[in-house]
Structure 1
């Protein structure tokens, strides 16, 4: 890969909602991070996991803020939010079990879902440890940037 091609790739990624991209071929490995100290988003190397008839374009991602507590009777719960625009998937492929379900205990860094954006499958990791109290999004539905995906009880 030539320097000009790498620069074009960096420019393309900077205009998308992706925070990190890793590309590996027989000839080279390339890892690009938009925000070095933010939520980790991994590109899945198997794009055949899901069939999407209407791909959703990604929007630029601002540095994510700390998870905001949910109001009302769930004021001790924390939201896991989408770091990008895309399509939400609870499983790695249609035949797999969900990454997490209500009642599961998660730890910070654990994959909780996948968001497909521009034909790239991004593993979304929990920023906190706790118990999944509620899944707020239906499988295979579009999500917006900063949209709550899960409610987590940090005391659980």
Structure 2
């Protein structure tokens, strides 16, 4: 599959208008990765929020994962007042999923240690499943959103105690 200049420009225009920070398209013959700088907002201690990563684009329409039954907004024991708690916020509007499919284990649970690059959730926007990766090290202390619910841009998703 060879991409012409017009097709590349259309792809770049689509990404620029989509609000996504990073898109990866991969086929057996071609791999395209586009990443742009974005402003990230954080709470409390100035650690960057996660960036979006788009799943590969496919020609057929993918079905959204089914709703997973779980306890609403799982919580850890009360946090220490002097601890460094940071909020991971949604980088986009979409549907929040805690796992890649209903049969898969959750990406993170309360009490899990995370490091930069660790996928913490998926946000589905316009049939693209965007993996949201952590940009910080710490421990998940609270999940603020229920699985399979809509989220807004900059909506708090997780609270993390910094390592």
TM-score interval (norm. to shorter): 0.7 to 0.9
Match of 2:12 among 1, 10, 13: 10
**Compared with structure 1, are the counterparts of its residues 29 and 134 closer, same or farther at alpha carbon in structure 2 (3 Å cutoff)?**
same
Does structure 2 conserve the Cα–Cα contact (< 8 Å) formed by 1:106 and 1:130? yes
TM-score by length of 2: 0.73
Match of 1:50 among 64, 74, 82: 64
Question: Which residues of 2 match residues 74-89 of structure 1 at below 5 A?
Answer: 76-89=84-97
Does structure 1 conserve the Cα–Cα contact (< 8 Å) formed by 2:83 and 2:161? no
Q: CA deviation at 1:75?
A: 6.8
Q: What is the distance in 2 between the residues matched to 1:95 and 1:114?
A: 15
CA RMSD of aligned residues (A): 2.4
Does structure 1 conserve the Cα–Cα contact (< 8 Å) formed by 2:93 and 2:125? yes
Does structure 1 conserve the Cα–Cα contact (< 8 Å) formed by 2:123 and 2:129? yes
Q: What is the distance in 2 between the residues matched to 1:108 and 1:94?
A: 25
Q: CA deviation at 1:76?
A: 2.7
Return 5+ residue gaps in structure 1 as ranges: 53-72
Q: Tell me how many residue pairs correspond in the alignment.
A: 135
Q: What is the distance in 2 between the residues matched to 1:97 and 1:49?
A: 19
TM-score by length of 1: 0.76
**2:70 match:** none
Q: Which has the larger radius of gyration?
A: 2
Q: CA deviation at 1:143?
A: 0.6
Query: Secondary structure of the residue that 2:108 maps to in structure 1?
Result: coil
Return 5+ residue gaps in structure 2 as ranges: 41-49, 67-80
Q: What is the distance in 1 between the residues matched to 2:63 and 2:113?
A: 25
